[in-house]
Amino acid sequence: MSDTLRKVPELSLLSYVNGSDSEKADFVSKLYSGIKDYGFIILTDHTMTEEVIDKGYAASKAFFALDQAKKDACISKAGGGQRGYTPFGTEHAKDNPYKDLKEFYHVGREVEEGHVFHKFYPGNIFPTEVENFKKDMLNIYDELDKTSQILLEALGKALDVPANYFKDMITTGNSVLRAIHYPPVGEAPPEGSIRAAAHGDINLITILMGATASGLQLQDRDGTWLDVNSKEGQLVVDAGDMLSRITNDIIPATIHRVINPKDATSARFSMPFFVHPHPEAMLECIPSCEGDGAKYPPISSHDCLQKRLVEIGLM
């Protein structure tokens, strides 16, 4: 299938946020068809400000520039890599023994002690060496959290679920912001390893702020690899395993990867936001997607996540 014939759809989120009824309906239709047929869509505009994005990336780069001992001090004792720093060469894709060539930092949901979900959410860790790191990363988290609610509201209309179906599922959800650093691979990267091996995300959807370099590819429905080329300021959205599960695979989880660059001296930074339901949300087949019957038994969001963390080497 030629790349000239297959190109990730580009949509205007503001046409849904600020548009007429017909513009909203058009966005819903194109969002559904794009995420179903490609698994990825690109948002050419959205509600986030350039300042929030720039400050988030600046904070991320400043952290990864710290010496290793200071970064290691931010490794969470809670385990599972759900908060704080995860060192280079720790994570691998499901069913792939080769480690990814990346290090990353997680910021998650903050809830007060005594909240019903407090037991599920480890405390965030914030380095003191990077000025405004906490403020800038939480600003990114909050803005992407709002964007996820808009996107899933629109997708819910296409799936014919109650108006608050996804909102109830992700409010105070276990969503995670991941700041990733892919260091230069060098002239001889470890055999079998690439920056991020082929994988599907765990969650409902992922929202990726435009990375600082290319390399992201999706596996098209015919098995070919298609470059995902977004411009500065755009957001890339893809479907994860949890969305695939509740839609009975009508919206398949999209396999994607980050390949090694031709320039062995170049680094790459990216910042995906993994949109998760709250831990007690039940993942079960949406009625409009049942067809000849649900393929998967109901499972809690928490149990589904824990299973995958083991599979990718984080627990």
**Domain for residue 283, yes or no?**
yes
Element housing 43 (H / E): strand 40-45
Digit-coded pLDDT (tens) for 35-86: 999 889 999 999 999 999 999 999 999 999 999 999 999 999 887 778 999 9
Cα 306 to its chain centre, rounded Å, is 17
- 238-261 average pLDDT score: 94
Asked whether residue 5 is assigned to any structural domain, the reply reads no
Q: Strand locations in 95-250, DSSP E? A: 103-108, 176-182, 196-199, 205-209, 216-219, 225-227, 235-239
Let me know if residue 2 belongs to a domain. no
26 in any annotated domain: yes
Q: What is the CA radius of gyration of the chain?
A: 19
Domain range for 204 is 10-311
C-beta of residue 218 within 8 angstroms of C-beta of residue 271: no
Tell me, yes or no, whether 93 lies in a domain.
yes
Query: In this structure, what token pair is assigned to residue 28?
Result: 């819903």
Strand residue runs (E) in 202-295: 205-209, 216-219, 225-227, 235-239, 256-258, 268-275, 282-283
For the chain, the domain total comes to 1
Cβ atoms 217, 162 nearer than 8 A: no
Please give the share of the chain, as a percent, with pLDDT higher than 90. Answer: 78
- Find the mean pLDDT for residues 121-145: 96
d(CA 198, CA 77): 28
Let me know if residue 4 belongs to a domain. Answer: no
**Has residue 197 been placed in a domain?**
yes
Find the CATH number of the domain harbouring 253: 2.60.120.330
Q: Are strands 10-12 and 40-45 parallel, antiparallel or unpaired?
A: parallel
What's the pLDDT at 315? 55
Instruction: Give the global pTM.
Output: 0.93
Q: Is residue 3 part of a domain?
A: no
